[in-house]
Structure 1
Amino acid sequence: MAMEALNLVESFLLSAEHGSFSVAARRLGLTPAAVSKNIARLEATLGLRLFQRSTRSLTLTTAGEQFLREVSEPFTALQDAFAGATTQEGKPAGTLKVSLALAFGREYLVPLLGDFLEQYPAIVPDWHFDNRPVDLIADGFDVAIGGGIELTPGIVARELARTHVIVAASPSYMSTRKMPEHPSELSQYDGIVRRSTTTGRLRAWTLKNPLGEQCQAECRTRIIFDDPEAIAHAAMLGQGIAFLPMPHAAPWLSSGALVRLLPAWYAEQGSISLYYPNKKLLPARTRVFIEFVVEAFRKERYAARFDAR
């Protein structure tokens, strides 16, 4: 009975937090109808109406607001207690739900899995690869790794590395062309341009150099892709110049499959960070994964590899 009451309260708290049975359902792995039923059972048990329901909105009643104030803190304390107990024979255990960008995850994080699983055999990675920023709380992720995730209330970020965008092309593409000496000359080259998956617009880059000079980079748009890994591969096949984030360019610059144009120039792209819920006590599986990734980035010197300056 006690566990059933906790489940009912959790449905209530998530519905109140997001103003939606549907979002609460996604977080809990239930259907919206099941969440609605949980709320109805809780209301019947308490003899109170907790929500005003309409086709467009879900709002707390006065009684619902008071109940929210009374149960939020005790429930969070219980969650923290459960989180601290997520171990098996003293070792972190359970499913670890992580959001990763497609190519970045494959190139830099999948290779770390062997060591991680050897250290923590009771943890089951449940990794989701997507180039779109996720809603960490609404979608129930333990951790997200990438950039551009909005720091909404309840989310914290731990920076792993600063990243820059550079201009690159294949040796074959440049074999019949003169190397540019200034970004203003890029208009003479075919460009593989990126469309933003979030805004739908073509990405424009302002390049700068160590002297503080800035220049808007423009090329002849030849191909439009929405995936940086595909852009890197098209560039290697000689289809044109590409504006590539350093994580996507670094392996191919090292192998010689791509050459960097305008080596003194780069564009800012922000940070790669670990994002996770701001809780007093993280589940043990989440805490050890965060520390493992931070240490791996330090050991592999990824921050230096992603820095184009």
Structure 2
Amino acid sequence: MEPLNLLEAFLQSAECAGFSEAARRLGLTPAAVSKNVARLEGRLGVRLFQRSTRRLALTEAGERLLQQVRGPLTELQGAIADAAQGAGEPAGTLKVALAHGVGRMYILPLLKGFLQRYPGVQHDWRFDNRVVDLIGEGYDVAIGGGIDLAPGVVARELGRPWVLVTAAPSYLAGRQLPRHPSELAGWEGIARRSAESGRLRDYLLRNAAGEEAVAEFRPVATFDDPEAMAQAACMGLGVALLPGPHAAPLLESGQLVRLLPDWHAEVGPLSIYYSSKKLLPAKTRAFVDYVVAQLRAQDFAGRLDRL
């Protein structure tokens, strides 16, 4: 098992960019982690990190090794954890990638119940609005919307949110409500920039009759985070095109009003993604089934449809 321990020390040190946080995750001392990494470097005959007093930086050889071992090591650890527990009892560290708003508003509240049911699972969640490489980055599960499936990845749909046109009552005071997207021209709005490409997002709105129109307004601010857009809209800064999961609680509370209720943009389903490998770790299978069942019990998809 020693080679696995050395690789685990390397992997955690690379992800944490330091020995101290890696030691905390592994339950070791920073000196022990540093020693394991040094032993791995000695065995391989290459330097994996450039060390300084402030942080670690991967060398070219370290970057190459990280890409090669991250996915396989995670799978191997999952298999070992399953075997150790017997009968596939969920155990081990579950690495999850979640979109910021959806993760905090809808998935995080489910964590306590899951922990009570499966106390052997430790959670390592990363909140990010970008699309992650499940296998390459070593994630067990990802939750997000509008993602193209990569080879080796499967998805279970959680709901089909729309992008809705919203604004605060304070902003709408004294204004005549628009009847067509073209009437938003000249209105102030909060634009969204893609966190991945850096480009401004344009949404093509559709109605039940099949008509299409682009919602154009005068941007007063541009954000790459829908939660920030929602907050700015609530402050009365202008119109915001928000995904349904972000808009739902604000529309229900009256902080925002939906404009053009017959129009919406489609961004693809919100899904939970995981590797299609045959021997899916018990921890992953349990988490996926739990999230799907809990959101179904809460009528999450139906709530989005009724907005």
TM-score, scaled relative to structure 1: 0.75
Is 1:182 aligned to residue 176 of structure 2? no
CA deviation after TM superposition for structure 1 residue 277, in Å: 1.6
In structure 2, the residue matched to 1:286 is 284
- Please report how far the alpha carbon of residue 38 of structure 1 lies from its aligned counterpart in structure 2 after TM superposition: 5.7
- CA offsets, 1:205-263, max 9 Å, x none? 11000111111111111111111001111111110010000000000000011010000
Distance 1:208 1:92 in 2: 44
Q: Percent identity?
A: 53
**Deviation sequence 1:140-175 (CA, Å, 0-9, x none):** 111111124443332222222112100000111111
Which residue is 1:277 aligned to? 275
Partner of 1:211: 209
- Tell me the secondary structure at the aligned position of residue 184 of structure 1: helix
Give the whole-Å Cα distance in 2 for the aligned partners of 1:166 and 1:195.
Answer: 16
Match of 1:157 in 2: 155
Contact 2:82 2:89 in 1 (8 A): no
Query: Residues 287 and 188 (structure 1 numbering): CA distance in 2 closer, same or farther, change over 3 Å?
Result: same
The secondary structure found in structure 2 opposite 1:212 is coil
Count of residue pairs brought into register by the alignment: 269
Distance 1:90 1:82 in 2: 10
Task: Determine helix, strand or coil for the equivalent of 1:185.
Answer: helix
Change (3 A) 1:33 1:179: farther
Look up the equivalent residue of 1:304 and give its one-letter code: G
Alignment of 1:121-270 (within 5 A): 121-270=119-268
Letter in 2 for 1:156: V
CA, structure 1 residues 77+194, in 2 after alignment: closer, same or farther (shift >3 Å)? closer
Unmatched 5+ stretches in structure 1: 12-20, 42-53, 59-74
Whole-Å separation in 2 of the counterparts to 1:213 and 1:255? 30
- For 2:274, give the aligned amino acid: Y
The residue aligned with 1:296 is 294
* 2: CA distance, partners of 1:86 / 1:161: 36
**Cα drift, residue 103 of structure 1:** 1.5
TM-score norm. by structure 2 comes to 0.76
- Report SS of the residue matched to 1:153: coil
CA distance change for structure 1 residues 275 and 146 in 2, over 3 Å: closer, same or farther? same
Cα 1:78/1:170, change in 2 over 3 Å: closer
Q: Give the Cα separation in 1 of the matches to 2:189 and 2:74.
A: 52
Aligned residue runs from structure 1 range 47-86, under 5 A = 82=80, 84-85=82-83
Helix, strand or coil at the partner of 1:306: helix
RMSD: 3.5
CA contact (8 A) 1:171 1:257 kept: yes
1:219–1:34 distance in 2 versus 1, CA, 3 Å: farther
Indicate how the Cα distance of structure 1 residues 220 and 77 shifts in structure 2: closer, same or farther if over 3 A, else same. closer
Q: Deviations over 1:238-295 (max 9, x none)?
A: 1001000000000000001101000000000111111112211111111100000110
Task: Decide which moves more: 255-264 or 271-280.
Answer: 271-280
**Distance change (3 Å), C-alpha of 1:39 and 1:214:** same
The AA in structure 2 aligned to 1:159 is E
> Could you tell me whether the CA contact under 8 Å between 1:155 and 1:278 is conserved in 2?
yes
